[in-house]
Amino acid sequence: MNLNIPFRITRFALALLSLSLLPAAVHAADPPKIGDTAKGKTLVDARGMTLYTFDRDTSGNASTCDGKCTERWKPLAADNDAEAKGDFTVIIRSDGSKMWAYRYRPLYTSQSDKAPGDVNGFDGANLWHVARPAL
């Protein structure tokens, strides 16, 4: 049995494997949950990451965070078959993708948060806020 594998096939296989290990966008069929953070009870995604709202999302049920904004603030993606539940709605972004909203306010995670419960998503203009549940 010859175990010599051509170099280019090996490189291709390794490239495919490395792509499969990249973190994919988190899509969720179920709405966010309430979690405990240093700022108290907040809305969190399925991994426990703190969620935020953006003051410029003022038209209700629409996201204005596009392009470069989404490099720092990731929209909380929703599965294509996700359905509204209680105060949680699913909205369609300008690119056609779906995301979760709470009381018609789109929800985002911050790239500044590295672990569940982090609340580092502050901005100097005070436009981003921790998403708090109505208790």
Q: Is the pLDDT reported for residue 13 higher than 90?
A: no
Q: What is the mean pLDDT of residues 2-8?
A: 49
Q: Is the pLDDT reported for residue 64 higher than 90?
A: yes
Decide if 126 is inside a domain.
Answer: yes
Q: How many domains does the chain have?
A: 1
Decide if 11 is inside a domain.
Answer: no
pLDDT at res. 4: 53
Decide if 68 is inside a domain.
Answer: yes
Average pLDDT over the chain, rounded to an integer: 83
Per-residue pLDDT of 107-133, as tens digits, reads 999 999 999 999 999 888 899 999 999
Q: Is the pLDDT reported for residue 44 higher than 70?
A: yes
Backbone angles phi, psi at 132, to 5 degrees: -105, 140
CA dist list (Å): 45 to 5, 52, 66: 43, 10, 20
* Strand order across the beta sheet in which 128-130 lies: 73-75, 108-110, 52-54, 128-130
Domain boundaries, position 125: 26-130
